[in-house]
């Protein structure tokens, strides 16, 4: 199986179009007001309309008010809900709109028991593994990949400091179902812009994922 790709924190129409042209599997829209990449429902719906049907729209929420996720999902046309706060199983199951899958983010640290995490969220389509920071994702900081066991009872989405420079290594070592990148493809330089993605880094990222998958096929 190939490694799927999610570009998260998309804000600009040109970045959404580039992501779709590059063949990514999912585009992430952030609905956490404290994030520098936050979108309102109207803007997210405009961006959603730029995506072809084969690219999933993932909505990232952090301890959102009750009922707001269902409203956003309907207005935008979300395909997946990503719970990235302190939501427990009951919240995930009650707030996720009927018929939509959800992913549960797990802040990774030494000693985290992913088997137990899968058990706590049996309805989750996948666990999204991210670094623990003061914010909620998009920090550009990676965690120790040796904390991720090779044997897992379900799919994982690997996030946290993933970038074109290390995604091939991440795939080789962790073998996730999907890799999730945000700050790793943003415009850099002396004044990085968290709301703007770099076309060159987006292209580089996809090329490195394809290279890593090809290397895994050759090794079998």
Calculate the CA 89 to chain-centre distance.
Answer: 19
Catalytic residue among 92, 96, 117, 130: 130
Is 63 a known active-site residue?
A: no
Reading the block at residue 83, the tokens are 């719970």
Instruction: Reduce the DSSP state of residue 95 to 3 states and report it.
Output: helix
CB of 82 within 8 A of CB of 106? no
196, with CB counted inside 10 A (0-12, 13-18, 19+), is: middle
d(CA 83, CA 130): 12
Return the sign of the alpha-carbon dihedral for residues 70, 68, 104, 43. Answer: positive
182, with CB counted inside 10 A (0-12, 13-18, 19+), is: buried
Backbone angles phi, psi at 158, to 5 degrees: -95, 120
Is 213 a known active-site residue?
A: no
27, with CB counted inside 10 A (0-12, 13-18, 19+), is: buried
Catalytic residue among 8, 92, 96, 117: 8
Residue length of the chain: 220
Residues with a known catalytic role:
8, 130
């Amino acid at each position: 199986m190939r490694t799927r790709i999610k570009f998260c924190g998309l804000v600009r129409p040109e970045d959404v179009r580039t992501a779709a042209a590059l063949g990514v599997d999912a585009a992430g829209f952030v609905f956490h007001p404290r994030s520098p990449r936050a979108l309102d429902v109207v803007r997210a719906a405009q961006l959603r309309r730029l995506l072809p049907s084969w690219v999933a729209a993932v909505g990232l929420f952090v301890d959102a008010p009750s009922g707001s996720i269902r409203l956003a999902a309907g207005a935008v046309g979300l395909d997946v809900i990503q719970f990235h706060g302190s939501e427990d199983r009951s919240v995930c199951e009650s707030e996720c709109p009927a018929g939509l899958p959800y992913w549960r983010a797990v802040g990774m640290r030494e000693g985290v028991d992913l088997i137990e995490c899968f058990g706590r969220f049996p309805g989750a389509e996948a666990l999204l593994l991210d670094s623990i920071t003061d914010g909620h994702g998009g920090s550009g900081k990676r965690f120790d990949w040796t904390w991720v066991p090779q044997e897992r009872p379900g799919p994982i989405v690997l996030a946290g400091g993933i970038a074109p420079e290390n995604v091939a290594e991440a795939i080789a070592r962790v073998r996730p179902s999907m890799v999730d990148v945000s700050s790793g493809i943003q415009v850099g330089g002396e004044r990085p812009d968290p709301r703007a993605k770099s076309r060159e880094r987006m292209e580089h990222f996809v090329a490195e994922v394809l290279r890593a998958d090809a290397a895994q096929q050759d090794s079998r």
